[in-house]
Amino acid sequence: MDEFSFIKWIRSNQKKDRNIVIGIGDDCASIKINGNKQCLVTTDMLVDGTHFDLKKNTPGEIGKKSMACSISDIAAMGCSAKYAVVSICFPQETRTKFAKELFLGMKREADAYNIKIIGGDVVSGKKMLVVNVTMYGENKGLNPVTRSGAKVDDVIMVTGALGGSILKKHFAFKPRLKEGQLLNKKFNINSMIDISDGLVADLNHILEESGIGAVLYEDGVPVSADAKKLARKTGFSALHHALHDGEDYELLFTLSGKESKKLLASSSFPVRLSKIGHIKRSKGISMQGSNGKLKKIKPVGYKHFK
Amino acid sequence: MDEFSFIKWIRSNQKKDRNIVIGIGDDCASIKINGNKQCLVTTDMLVDGTHFDLKKNTPGEIGKKSMACSISDIAAMGCSAKYAVVSICFPQETRTKFAKELFLGMKREADAYNIKIIGGDVVSGKKMLVVNVTMYGENKGLNPVTRSGAKVDDVIMVTGALGGSILKKHFAFKPRLKEGQLLNKKFNINSMIDISDGLVADLNHILEESGIGAVLYEDGVPVSADAKKLARKTGFSALHHALHDGEDYELLFTLSGKESKKLLASSSFPVRLSKIGHIKRSKGISMQGSNGKLKKIKPVGYKHFK
């Protein structure tokens, strides 16, 4: 099957949508935009050996993850995800079955969040599988929540539990799309990011953008069962894994003390929430131990280049 | 320099734009969309060994080409290009100078067409350089020109001259953005595509989408000087190169006989135009020789998979 047949097969998987004026198969896709809206855009590239391992992961898992990472970025803005365009570079020896399973992994994840794949590009490369997803979202009258709005004395909170994602979660995570929108709609969230580089590294992105610092509470960080499991193998503490492992894809956000109380009092929030620290005026990140003492921590996380 | 420093450097290259609500550096970019508009979207992945060769091409050339390919897709819809998000996978040993030159190649090309780079992703991979550009355009009140609108008896036309792009043009081409918009604004263009897979292969995309066939005129096809030069090396005819070589990035379009006369009579069109054939009801592509005889031709062009 050449790429044109593959694209035809992909098109045969599509449903009509009245806002998609031009869908897969032309030089561009076109979506209809009404009213005074913002269009959110994010793009994520996943590469064999870095974000997945062809020896370990199924094509369906890789497809799912590529879509979920971009959904998570829209979630981190507190907005709605709507459309995606995807590019795939298949190694030359790729079988049709593999290609289809990869796409179906993308499509199942997109479908689960009611996102339409409206276009893309399929190419071949010498060896390496590469997948790129660009996703579009809408603000639906809300202000997207940026990384730069954190304020002094804000409470720092996080969804779910952290660390050890490499054992399973980095392919099985559920992007917090509903939760991000709920936070943005019902509460005054000052800043938000999804945790892909690691809690401390991503918190540092917020701090740098907002020009401030933070204190984390050692007892407040929600340590996952997999962080504990991994700690038994690595010799690092489970807390270390919760602080520095990447790819948890939980939401990390800051809001006023008053808003955080309102949030914690609302019984309907669909996932676990933890208060893990607060924003301070002076730069840098400190960890407050159970004894109350402060210790500086460095914002290290996964880096693609050294 | 790690990827965060690289992204900071990229941001320092950006100018403000009142329609970019959120630019580079957050989870998503956000653009303001006013009124009842369509947002055009295209994505293109370029891979080492397939679309460029790190041993031969400069990083600036690679960056420029990646941007130009996406601009060409917007041109092929007869629309305006506005914003781009870019993903780059650098091999692990990449030097900062190389990374910056690649980005500057993208940016210079984007600037030349007044396109803003609003976001992106930077990752590292084992070996292969991969660049993905997703581009956004606007229709500005016009209907985007698709591949599916060709009508029986339409005249088939093409901009520029074709073939031998591998000698130079595939890195030096100018996307026909202005020309595509001019065609769409001033004339009734029924179908359009940019030539990336080769004249015959891309014409075939129009024919398949429109459910019809075509006759090409052997004497009408504009054969480039580089097609002739290449023919002396390859043993194929220059016409063969003009018909089947990819990456000319010229515009191939169809319109009624009346509109084509109007177009050819307009003295102000900025590039060479050639009438190369017509649309017929019965499927397939034939070539009409100078002796008037018809010969079937197969829609072969570059294929990523076999």
Mean pLDDT in residue range A209-229: 97
Sort out which chain A residues have CB atoms less than 8 A from B21's CB and list them. Answer: 38, 144
Tokens of A261: 């109380």
Sort out which chain A residues have CB atoms less than 8 A from B192's CB and list them. Answer: 27
What's at B222, amino acid-wise? P
Tokens of A21: 């004026």
A107-156 pLDDT, tens digit per residue, is 999 999 999 888 889 888 887 889 999 998 888 888 899 999 999 999 99
Tell me how far apart the terminal alpha carbons of chain B are, to the nearest angstrom: 40
| Residues in contact with B296: Cβ distance below 8 Å, sequence separation at least 6, in sequence order | B284, B285, B286, B287
B81-116 pLDDT, tens digit per residue, is 988 999 999 988 888 889 889 999 999 999 999 998
**Integer Cα distance of B50 and B62 in angstroms:** 12
Contact criterion met (CB below 8 Å) for A134 and A84 = yes
| pLDDT at res. B117 | 87
- Give Dmax (Cα) for chain A: 64
| Residues in contact with A302: Cβ distance below 8 Å, sequence separation at least 6, in sequence order | A197, A198, A201, A246
Q: What band does B174 get if pLDDT is binned at 50, 70 and 90?
A: very high
Of B40, B128, B194, the CB nearest to A126: B128
Mutation for B interface: A44, A55, A90, A132, most B CBs within 10 A = A132
Q: Which residue has the higher pLDDT, B35 or B279?
A: B279
Residue B166 has, within 13 A of its CA and on its CB side, a CA count of 19
A125 three-class SS: strand
Mean pLDDT of chain A: 90
Mean pLDDT in residue range A231-260: 96
Mean pLDDT in residue range B182-197: 96
**Integer Cα distance of B273 and B161 in angstroms:** 9
| pLDDT at res. B159 | 97
Residue B166 gets which letter from DSSP?
G
A195-217 pLDDT, tens digit per residue, is 999 999 999 999 999 999 999 99
Query: Measured between CB atoms, does B45 come within 8 Å of chain A?
Result: yes
B253-267 pLDDT, tens digit per residue, is 999 999 999 999 988
Task: Write out A93-122 in H/E/C secondary structure.
Answer: CCCHHHHHHHHHHHHHHHHHCCCEEEEEEE
Query: Measured between CB atoms, does A300 come within 8 Å of chain B?
Result: no
pTM (two decimals): 0.89
Domains of chain B in sequence order? 3-138 (3.30.1330.10), 155-297 (3.90.650.10)
Given an 8 Å threshold on Cβ–Cβ distance, is A73 in contact with B303?
A: no
A149-166 pLDDT, tens digit per residue, is 999 999 999 999 999 999
**Which ipTM score applies to this complex?**
0.86
The CA-CA-CA angle for residues B41, B42, B48, to 5°, reads: 155
Q: Which residue has the higher pLDDT, A304 or A120?
A: A120
Answer yes or no: is pLDDT of A14 > 80.
no
**Integer Cα distance of B87 and B92 in angstroms:** 15
Given an 8 Å threshold on Cβ–Cβ distance, is A33 in contact with B41?
A: no
Tokens of A293: 């003492």
Nearest to A44 by CA among A159, A148, A175, A181: A175
Q: Which residue has the higher pLDDT, B19 or A289?
A: A289
| Residues facing B33 on adjacent strands | A37
